[in-house]
Amino acid sequence: MALRKLDVKTLDFIVEQMIDTVDKSKDEIFRIGEQCRKDHDTLIEELKEIKAKVEKVISESDDLEEKSRFARKRLSEVSRNFKTYSEEQVREVYEFAHSLQTKYIINEQLEKQLRQRRDDLERRLLVLQETIDRAELLVSQITVISNYLVSDIKDIGIALEDAKMKQDFGLRIIEAQEEERKRISREIHDGPAQLLANVLIRSDLAERVHIEEGPDQAFKEIRSLKEMIRDALYEVRRIIYDLRPMALDDLGLIPTLEKYLSTLGEYHQSVDIQFINLGGDKRLPGKYEVALFRLIQESVNNALKHAEAKQIKVKLEVCPDRVSVLIKDNGKGFDPAVNKNGSFGLMGMKERIEILEGKLNVESAPDKGTMIHIKIPVLE
């Protein structure tokens, strides 16, 4: 059995790695092809400019050669009739001929460089075009391979899915049970257990106060003691609700929510908690009622504990094909983009909603309150 588990996990891992590697390779080849296209386009523009410069240099060279020929002829004439011209005229003719000859030589050198650059660009363009063609072919081939891996090899996983799901499901149940036990243990320890310990201490204190300071001060301690017992009772009821409110199975989601929110309002008298039901008392399949109750419960508890809200509105609309929930408070809000360490409430809500194929939208900002919008399709 252990070998079977290993085989399933190993096959899953290998297939995932293969698909991931193929997709990454495809993306990389595509990027190489795109970069080659950009380089190709850049070189084509540069080649156009180089060709235009070559034509211009050739034209200038032809013009300089003509002028240089005329200047040499003029220089030869001056040299033959040296005595006829002044020294200044001879120098000007010589310098002019020399200047033209120098420009002609420089132009020829520039033409040679431009021609070399043109030939180099044409060779590089041929190489780039070959690379582009090969990249396109590889991307096409890898797409076929990727489709095969995703579709055909996936059938192998489907054949093993039942066994794997049973294994994973069993492990998740065990993990969920342990996490729930830990959570309940922490809540009892931090809530009723601490309060009852304080009640015991305060009862001893009330007894000493009665002896030392008289009945009036003792009555004050007893009143404080009653408040602590009231808090402990509320925490115990809340934990029972967290485990599973019995009214949810018997009466359904709407009456249970009404009772739950009404109880919260009685305890938190400084907070205005409103419940608006727009869809009647239609019963939903059990998994939807439990999930929706937990989502609303989590949202309202967050508004009371963390947001310190003074007004909380819960609006529920049950339609034939979907359920829409809006929870809005005027608390201190938060930045949804910032993940707080150890905060799993919002993450748990997202996971519940994803299981039901729904959508969660959270709008909040510091000192601006919070609005949570939940949409869940009701599937038969």
Task: State the CATH number of the domain containing residue 23.
Answer: 1.10.287.2610
User: Which one, of 268, 190, 186, 196, lies nearest residue 232 by Cα?
Assistant: 196
- CA–centroid distance for 189 within its chain: 37
Tokens for 254? 């709407």
Mean predicted confidence (pLDDT) in 113-136:
84
CA distance 313 to 271: 11
The mean predicted confidence, pLDDT, of the chain is 77
CATH classification of the domain holding 341 = 3.30.565.10
Tell me the one-letter amino acid at 41.
D
In a domain, 168, yes or no: no
Q: What's the angle, vertex CA 341, arms to CA 339 and CA 343, rounded to 5? A: 80
In a domain, 42, yes or no: yes
Task: Give yes or no for a contact between 293 and 352, defined as CB atoms under 8 angstroms apart.
Answer: no
CA distance 131 to 32: 9
Helix axes 253-267, 286-305, angle to 10 degrees: 20
Where does residue 68 rank: exposed (0-12), middle (13-18), buried (19+ CB within 10 A)? buried
Same domain, residue pair 33 and 147: yes
What is the pLDDT, as a whole number, of residue 207? Answer: 75
Same domain, residue pair 146 and 7: yes
Domain count, the chain: 2
**Residues near 291 by beta carbon (within 8 Å), at least 6 away in sequence:** 352, 353, 355, 356, 376
Mean predicted confidence (pLDDT) in 145-168:
58
Q: Quote helix, strand, coil % in the chain, to nearest 5.
A: 75, 10, 15
- Pairwise pLDDT comparison (245 vs 38), residue with the higher score: 38
Does residue 243 surpass a pLDDT of 70? no
Longest dimension (CA), the chain: 146
Does residue 200 surpass a pLDDT of 50? yes
Q: Which of 6-20, 23-37, 60-74 has the lowest mean pLDDT?
A: 6-20
In a domain, 307, yes or no: yes
In a domain, 369, yes or no: yes
Report the percentage of the chain scoring pLDDT > 90: 10
Tokens for 259? 């009772």
Residue numbers of the domain that contains 314: 253-380
What is the pLDDT, as a whole number, of residue 259? Answer: 86
What is the pLDDT, as a whole number, of residue 342? Answer: 42
CA distance 123 to 280: 77
What is the pLDDT, as a whole number, of residue 139? Answer: 75
In a domain, 370, yes or no: yes
State the first-to-last Cα distance of the chain, in angstroms, to the nearest integer. 36
Q: Select from 152, 169, 186 the last residue of a domain.
A: 152
The DSSP bridge pattern shows strands 311-318 and 272-277 to be parallel
pTM for the predicted model, two decimal places: 0.43
What is the pLDDT, as a whole number, of residue 2? Answer: 41
Q: With H, G, I as helix, E, B as strand and everything else as coil, classify residue 377.
A: strand
Does residue 226 surpass a pLDDT of 70? yes
User: Which one, of 310, 319, 307, 306, lies nearest residue 375 by Cα?
Assistant: 319
CA distance 56 to 180: 84
Task: Give yes or no for a contact between 89 and 36, defined as CB atoms under 8 angstroms apart.
Answer: no
Give φ, ψ of 268 to 5 degrees: -100, 75
Q: Select from 106, 123, 152 the last residue of a domain.
A: 152
Task: Give yes or no for a contact between 219 and 241, defined as CB atoms under 8 angstroms apart.
Answer: no
Same domain, residue pair 131 and 20: yes
Mean predicted confidence (pLDDT) in 28-50:
83
Does residue 327 surpass a pLDDT of 70? yes
CA distance 265 to 311: 10
What is the pLDDT, as a whole number, of residue 167? Answer: 56
In a domain, 77, yes or no: yes
Adjacent-strand bridge partners of 328: 313, 371
CA distance 266 to 285: 30
In a domain, 95, yes or no: yes
Q: What is the DSSP letter of 340?
A: P
Q: What is the DSSP letter of 337?
A: T
**Residues near 294 by beta carbon (within 8 Å), at least 6 away in sequence:** 352
In a domain, 225, yes or no: no
Which residue bears the tokens 């080849």? 29
User: Which one, of 282, 278, 275, 281, lies nearest residue 296 by Cα?
Assistant: 275
Tokens for 224? 């404080």
CA distance 182 to 281: 35
Q: Select from 109, 130, 152 the last residue of a domain.
A: 152
User: Which one, of 311, 309, 363, 312, lies nearest residue 334 by Cα?
Assistant: 363
Tell me the one-letter amino acid at 299.
S
pLDDT tens per residue across span 334-362: 888 776 644 556 777 887 888 888 999 99
